[in-house]
Chain A
């Protein structure tokens, strides 16, 4: 296994980087979309139900089925992989962003309003910092599942650590498979820890 690494370390590092940026991009884009959707649901309650139903439905579609729906539109490759991950993440992210804002203590918001903070000031100095820990918790969950799920991207030629696993399996190169498994697990583990650290720090600030 070590020999495999010394021989192919450039390939391993390349795939690892590809895996990481694909996951990060998917979660980043997903967060931006989910944030907008969550704000809409938070402001206008009538949007909450339809958005939730949509997210739940998409989440229930198996990955391979979703690939086959998307391939005719976005083709084989990274675009389809990223779009798929973005769609799945809506489920976790819209829920956590919504609840992050909904669980803010009402008396705090009432006071902010009553002492004369305007909407934007309340948003920046009260709502956002108080919602941050729960939002980061959502990002943590999204990132873990995305890093794991991103191995499937290799099936549609999008690269990433999944390539080691699937190619390794078909060529019976178990050293390669092992590296795929180890690296993608490490990657998920690291992402989880970084996010946990950020979440703890944000939480510390509001209730330490």
Chain B
């Protein structure tokens, strides 16, 4: 399918992270960064000790502003760990946070191919190439906001439904408590004494 909008010209920055020796101990980070520089639309390609640290993030922000970067590729750990960190970093530099792409050099390269630095480095380059290819197609996204009705439907009027209804109502929310029987109470209404306190239930 055709992409909806005409793509603006990409100006990509690549940031390869050593993660101390976690990545750098196996993968040739400098080599990966140098390789990144050869890819299309790449304006800067750097390698840093710890990208998630403040100096690391500041480098990205400065480059975004000074080099007018509009796509960022971070080659570091799993996006499941630090994608929020770097998205925030982009936003702080005035770039839409969805213009970030990550290549996972730690969980997918250095940690799992630690006895094969060459294989790990080759894989890192491929992942960076893949990330850059994707980054060129990225578009900014807005997180839409919708109004929310301050009311809750509680289905079932047993002790759980009753407790939920009361907690909500006391917090100022409207509650619709729906019970199929003619009375609320549920199973608890059968009981006289209850464990573990041996006191009356209703």
A binds B: no
